[in-house]
Amino acid sequence: MGVGPGAPERRRGCTAGGVRECAAQWLEPDVEAECPFPDAHGRALPLLPRSRRRESKRVLIVYAHQEPKSFNGSLKQVAVDELSKQGCTVTVSDLYAMNFEPRATRKDITGALSNPEVFSYGVEAYEAYKKGCLTSDITDEQKKVQEADLVIFQFPLYWFTVPAILKGWMDRVLCQGFAFDIPGFYDSGFLKFPLYWFTVPAILKGWMDRVLCQGFAFDIPGFYDSGFLKDKLALLSLTTGGTAEMYTKAGVSGDFRYFLWPLQHGTLHFCGFKVLAPQINFAPELSSEEERKAMMASWAQRLKSIWKEEPIRCTPPWYFGE
- Which tens digit of pLDDT belongs to each residue from 145-170? 989 888 888 888 887 688 999 999 99
Q: What's phi and psi for 270, nearest 5 deg?
A: -55, -35
pLDDT at 160: 67
Contact assessment for residue 158 and residue 66, using Cβ atoms and an 8 Å cutoff:
no
On whether both 280 and 193 belong to a single domain, the answer is no
On whether both 184 and 247 belong to a single domain, the answer is no
Nearest to 11 by CA among 76, 73, 100, 68: 76
CATH of residue 121's domain is: 3.40.50.360
Distance CA 258, CA 159 (A): 15
DSSP letter (8 states) at residue 252: T
On whether both 91 and 227 belong to a single domain, the answer is no
What Cα–Cα distance (Å) separates residue 3 from each residue in 7, 194, 197? 6, 32, 31
On whether both 66 and 96 belong to a single domain, the answer is yes
On whether both 165 and 42 belong to a single domain, the answer is yes
pLDDT tens readout for residues 199-256: 888 888 998 889 888 889 888 888 888 888 888 888 888 878 889 999 999 999 889 9
On whether both 186 and 60 belong to a single domain, the answer is yes
Distance CA 299, CA 287 (A): 16
Distance CA 154, CA 152 (A): 6
Last residue of a domain, one of 211, 234, 263: 211
| DSSP run (H or E) holding 316 | helix 316-320
On whether both 171 and 222 belong to a single domain, the answer is no
Domain that residue 23 falls in: 1-211
Last residue of a domain, one of 182, 211, 240: 211
Contact assessment for residue 271 and residue 228, using Cβ atoms and an 8 Å cutoff:
yes
Last residue of a domain, one of 194, 211, 228: 211
Contact assessment for residue 319 and residue 269, using Cβ atoms and an 8 Å cutoff:
no
On whether both 184 and 221 belong to a single domain, the answer is no
On whether both 197 and 237 belong to a single domain, the answer is no
CB 180: neighbour CB atoms within 10 A? 19
On whether both 117 and 17 belong to a single domain, the answer is yes
pLDDT at 222: 85
Contact assessment for residue 3 and residue 77, using Cβ atoms and an 8 Å cutoff:
no
pTM for the whole structure: 0.68
On whether both 153 and 264 belong to a single domain, the answer is no
CB 58: neighbour CB atoms within 10 A? 17
On whether both 204 and 96 belong to a single domain, the answer is yes
Domain count, the chain: 2
Contacts made by residues 42-50, CB under 8 angstroms, sequence distance 24+: 45/16, 45/19, 45/20, 46/20, 47/19, 47/20, 47/21, 47/22, 47/23, 48/20, 48/21, 50/24
Residue 62 pLDDT class (50, 70, 90 cuts): very high
pLDDT tens readout for residues 284-311: 888 999 998 999 899 899 899 899 999 9
Instruction: Give the relative orientation of helices 136-147 and 164-173 as an angle to the nearest 10 degrees.
Output: 80
What are 229's strand-pairing partners?
none
